[in-house]
Amino acid sequence: MKNLQEEMLPKDLLSQEEIKKLFDAINGGRTPSDEEDAGPLRKIQIYDFKRPNRFSEEHKKALSEVHKKTALSWTKLFNQYLQSEVEIKFSSLDILNFDEFIRSMPTPTSIIISEATMDSVPLPNSFLIEIDPGTAIPDKCDLTKISKELLDEYAAIWNKLYDMELSFHKKAMEMNPHHVNIDLLSEMGALITMEVKNGDVEGMVNVWLSYLFLKPLLPYLAGTNKVNIAPKKLYKEINSMNSNNDSQIETGLDNLNIQVVAELGRTMKKLKEIKEVQEGHIMELDNDVYGPICVFVNNVLFAHAETCVVDDKFALRILEIFDENSLIKEQS
């Protein structure tokens, strides 16, 4: 009789057993199909393409350690120059883009635009050291003179911690952060903030390290240089050749023509600004008017020079050569 009743029911009606299963599923917050199709739950991490995360926690920890030691070293240096009790302490490390960093700085301020070489080969980007004028340090200390020792101390920290051969040198000084164009506004970087106390005056020292600047150094920060020396080896071989094993090849290459470019300066403009340029327009460059001229050999920074005139033509007087191998060959 039961089977006969079920056969007589319209096919679009649910049986008592099916109705019970449906109510159980509703009370549990899921439908039967959900129970059948649901696989293991996965955590979804949202990736922000406008703010890509380029630094691991290991990188951040290593950078913090570098700048804790840098703060102690710079404290001694400023105390020596200012003959006063200056205290510098590491405060924080933040990952943000270049535009956010530029907007966070006061105007005017004191900015040291610096470049770096690793094993005598330039790193691909500049970095910045900004000293808040509220600290009174720029008023009492000639940053142009102290910048060399400041950068030497900074490089020494890196070299000691990671067995590197880094050297830093000042490229230019700037007071308006909006005139600094070393990076794309969207490029990510690490902002290291240090608190400064100079008597009753408090302020900050900021160090901006862009991702492009740090990229060759990240293997060291992650500790992989202990088992993989490729980054250092790569930088050593960019501009040098093995004269013992490849002397014949090198002799042949000596006859090749290579391009030498003396760069007066650079700047970064939006396409709209370039379209609006007319005759007589003045375009400001990032190089300091009294700063050295960068000399590039096949697009690789080779030397710093100053301009002079020889027989009514512009010429260059070389001040500093960055490739040690080339310097040895010239002197031999």
Query: Is the whole-model pTM more than 0.95?
Result: no
Please give the pLDDT value at position 168.
Answer: 96
Structure tokens at 217: 């150094």
DSSP string, 149-191: HHHHHHHHHHHHHHT--EEEEEEEEES-GGG--SS-TT-EEEE
Q: In this predicted structure, what is the pLDDT of residue 240?
A: 47
CATH says 57-221 is which class? alpha beta
* CA gyration radius, the chain: 30
- Residue ranges covered by each domain of the chain: 57-221, 256-331
Asked if 157 contacts 128 with a C-beta cutoff of 8 angstroms, the reply is no
pLDDT score for 328? 41
Residues near 286 by Cβ (< 8 Å), separated by ≥ 6? 113, 172, 179, 180, 181, 182, 265, 266, 267
Q: Is the peptide bond before 52 cis (omega within 30 degrees of 0)?
A: no
Q: What is the pLDDT of residue 249?
A: 54
pLDDT at 243: 41
Q: Would you state the pLDDT for residue 91?
A: 96
CA-to-CA dists, residue 257 to 155, 252, 297, 314, angstroms = 35, 11, 11, 21
Read off the tokens for 203: 């302020």
Predicted local confidence at residue 213, as pLDDT: 92
| End-to-end Cα, the chain, rounded Å | 113
Domain 256-331 classification at class level = mainly beta
Per-residue pLDDT of the chain (332 residues; tens, 9 = 90+): 445 444 544 555 666 777 777 667 666 555 445 445 545 555 665 656 667 778 999 999 999 999 999 999 999 998 888 777 889 999 999 999 999 999 999 889 999 999 999 888 888 889 999 998 877 777 767 788 889 999 999 999 999 999 888 999 999 999 999 899 888 888 899 999 999 998 888 889 999 999 989 988 988 888 755 434 444 444 444 444 344 445 555 555 677 778 888 888 888 888 888 888 888 888 888 777 767 888 888 778 888 888 887 877 888 888 888 755 544 444 44
